[in-house]
Amino acid sequence: MTVAEVAARLDAATMTAIPVSRPVLGGYASDLLSDVMANAREGDVWVTLQKHVNVVAVAQLVNLAAIVLVHGRKPDPDTVARANEHGVPILVTACSAFEAVGRLWESGLRGRGAP
Amino acid sequence: MHVHTCLSPCGDLDMHPSAIVDAGAGANLHGLAVCDHHAADNLPAVQRAGKARGLAVLPGMEITTEEEVHLLALLPDATAAGVLQARVSAVLPGRNVPDIFGLQVIANERAEVLGFNESRLAGATTWNLERAVDEIHRVEGLAIAAHADRERSGIVGQLGFVPPGLALDAIEVSAATTFDLGRARLGLPLGLPVVTGSDAHDPASLGRAITYWYLDDATPREVRLALRGEGGRAVLGGGRPMEDLALHILDLARNGLEAGATRIEIDVSEDLAGNRLTISVRDNGRGMHAPVVARAADPFFTTRGTRDVGLGLPLLKQAAEAARGALRIDSVPGQGTVTTATFEHRHVDRAPLGDLETTVLVLMASSPEVELVLTHRRSARAYTLASSDLRAALGECSWSSPEAIALVRGAIRHGEASLEERGHEGS
């Protein structure tokens, strides 16, 4: 699955002007950024409602494939600018986090490192 | 620096204005900051109760940002608190549901209920972090990242790291950590002053973590100067008086000063191979007679006129015994007192050493004329710091000047680094 396919599954709008062809290897959902830094894996798509500019830095640090903002939460302008600068795609979906993760799981995407 | 009243939905009903002031005075505080969630309705009553008891009450508020980061706003006066509360209430959705979140009681200093705040104070504002800091600054307040060491609601836990360029005035570490750790992990990397506060929601917790300041008076203006390192005001340090051994040492040294000592020697010896920690404080004060020594660790006995019980020695005795050690007091009338506490170094209940930097800075700033000698040994390594040597290096600077504080801090950090295994040889 690619970032573009994730966007399609979630009826999500792409907020950034960067390619969405990167493959997505797994998924992670959390709103504690310290938790994401510690536990998300490279190539994951990250589902969150946090839209602070720090999400871009965390995504870049872990080398995530994309950030999905739920509940139609629009990222701050600064967040979009940084995401474009650092090549981190941001998608915005009207789905809740539960619904978004459910749809991605149904499409075959899995969390990694689970017991 | 961080006290909730019964107005906070999570605050104990016992936290009514006069009870807070009683608890603050009982913990020997000079001042406290009232920081309820998103409101300041109880501030005037706590201030009146404080005025009656000679306890300074600083205006504050705790604000939850959109990212669920908690910020403390330390405000110049009650008017600013009112303005901020009005602005906050416009961006705070929902109404309180007392059965779920708790009562939000507005009370006076006679513990009478005047009413209830109807907003959902337990919620989050729609301000993002940058906006909230900006709003605090607009009313001339200080923006402090609350309990920044905590995963939940702390800035680092919520956001992974402190956003670069955020105009914070200080970092608060909670009572869950020692002051030196908070400073090393959060304050120093950010170049921000560190404070600590109890985040008390009940009277017994008030004063469990305190900040030591060098101020002319406990006012918001003075606190602002201290956080900026201006005008000879300073943040000297902080810690947990009931827990950190460094603050027990401070208490012992103050006993010596009250006994008229002109020289205080502090010795902290860590024998790692022998699994032993020994702390001793020696003073040349007037000493005590045997019957007084015998009762010195009794919690219901004190020679001070300022409070009914002296908790310092009994608590230290308890801390030592909890770690399979003991407390010993040797005193000779007219010559001085040596108090020695021993601990099993790696005992699970051994209290942390805490921040010796705070101990030294508070003693030097409050009693500049007294000769203070600190020796810290760890196995074969050791360093010694004498206030006379530091004084010689300082010339005419006062102990609260940024130069003096930097000198003392530098000397202690250099010394502490020399104790590390991979560090250079001690001297």
For residue range A38-55, what is the model confidence (pLDDT) as tens digits? 899 999 999 999 999 999
The verdict on a CB contact (< 8 Å) between B160 and A37 is yes
Chain segment B213-224, per-residue pLDDT in tens: 999 999 999 999
Residues B4/B39, Cβ–Cβ less than 8 Å: no
Residue A115: pLDDT band by 50, 70, 90 thresholds? low
Residue of A nearest to B149 (CA): A34
ipTM metric: 0.75
**Is A58 within 8 Å of chain B by CB?**
yes
How near does any CA of chain A get to the CA of B260, in Å?
A: 51
**What tens digit of pLDDT does each residue of A9-37 get?**
999 999 999 999 999 999 999 998 888 98
Closest of B131, B126, B133 to residue B71, by C-alpha: B133
User: Is the Cβ of A54 closer than 8 Å to some Cβ of chain B?
Assistant: yes
B163/A76 touch (CB, cutoff 8 Å), yes or no: no
CA A15, chain centre distance (Å): 12
Is B163 within 8 Å of A52 when comparing Cβ atoms?
Answer: yes
Find the CB nearest A34 among B68, B128, B157: B157
What is the rounded distance in angstroms from the CA atom of residue B237 to the CA atom of residue B233? 13
Given this model, what pLDDT does residue A28 score?
97
Tell me, what's the pLDDT at B311? Answer: 61
Q: How far is B40 from chain A (nearest CA, A)?
A: 28
Confidence of residue A114 (pLDDT cuts 50, 70, 90): low
* Interface-testing mutation among B68, B71, B149, B158, with chain A (most A C-beta atoms within 10 A): B158
Dist CA A60 CA B160 (whole Å): 12
Residues of chain A contacting B67 with CB distance shorter than 8 Å: 50, 52
- Exposure letters B257-288 (e unless 16+ CB within 10 A, then b): bebebebbbbbbbbeeeeeebbbbbbbbbbbb
Contact B390, B407 (CB under 8 A): yes
Do residues A72 and A93 make contact, with C-beta atoms less than 8 angstroms apart? yes
Sign (positive/negative) of CA torsion A88, A92, A93, A99? Answer: positive
Q: Give the integer Cα–Cα distance in Å for B228 and B357.
A: 19
Q: Give the separation between CA B216 and CA B31, rounded to whole angstroms.
A: 13
Q: Which residues of A touch B64 (CB under 8 A)?
A: none
Is the CB of A34 less than 8 angstroms away from the CB of B129?
A: no
> B161, B162, B186: best mutation site toward chain A, by most A Cβ within 10 Å?
B161
Which one of B67, B152, B156 has the shortest CB-CB distance to A52?
Answer: B67
Low-confidence ranges of chain B (pLDDT < 50): 305-310, 423-427
Residue numbers in A near B155 (CB within 8 A):
none
Contact B238, B196 (CB under 8 A): yes
Which residue in the set B66, B151, B161 is minimally distant from A54, CB to CB? B161
* Distance to chain B for A71, nearest Cα, Å: 14
CB–CB contact B159 A52 (8 Å): yes
Does B156 lie at the interface with A, CB-CB under 8 angstroms? yes
The angle, 0 to 180 degrees and rounded to 10, between the axes of the packed helices B245-258 and B312-322 is 140
Nearest residue to B22 (alpha-carbon basis) of B111, B104, B114, B105:
B111
**How many beta carbons lie within 10 A of that of residue B178, not counting itself?**
26
Q: B224 or A113: which carries more pLDDT confidence? A: B224
How many CA atoms are closer than 13 Å to the CA of B256, on its beta-carbon side?
Answer: 31
Write the burial class of residue A99 (CB in 10 Å: 0-12 exposed, 13-18 middle, 19+ buried): middle
- Interface test with chain B among A28, A32, A49, A54, by most B beta carbons within 10 Å: A54
Cβ within 8 Å, pair B157-A32: yes
Q: What is the 3-state secondary structure (H, E, C) of chain B?
A: CCECCCCCCCCCCCCCHHHHHHHHHHCCCCEEEEEEECCCCCHHHHHHHHHHHCCEEEEEEEEECCCCCEEEEECCCHHHHHHHHHHHHCCCCCECCHHHHCCCEEECCCCCEEEECCECCCCCCCCCHHHHHHHHHHCCCEEEECCCCCCCCCHHHHHCCCCCCCCCCEEEECCCCCHHHHHHHHHHHHCCCEEECCCECCHHHCCCCEEEEECCCCCHHHHHHHHHCCCCCEEEEEECCCCCHHHHHHHHHHHHHHCCCCEEEEEEEEECCCCEEEEEEEECCCCCCHHHHHHCCCCCCCCCCCCCCCCHHHHHHHHHHHCCCCEEEEEECCCEEEEEEEEECCCCCCCCCCCHHHHHHHHHHHCCCCEEEEEEEECCEEEEEEHHHHHHHHCCCCCCCHHHHHHHHHHHHHHHHHHCCCCCCCC
Phi, psi of B383 (to 5 degrees): -140, 155
CA triplet B295, B297, B302: central angle to 5 degrees?
A: 70
Chain A residues with CB-CB distance to B160 below 8 A: 33-34, 36-37, 54, 57-58, 61
CA-wise closest residue to B350 among B249, B277, B270, B266: B277
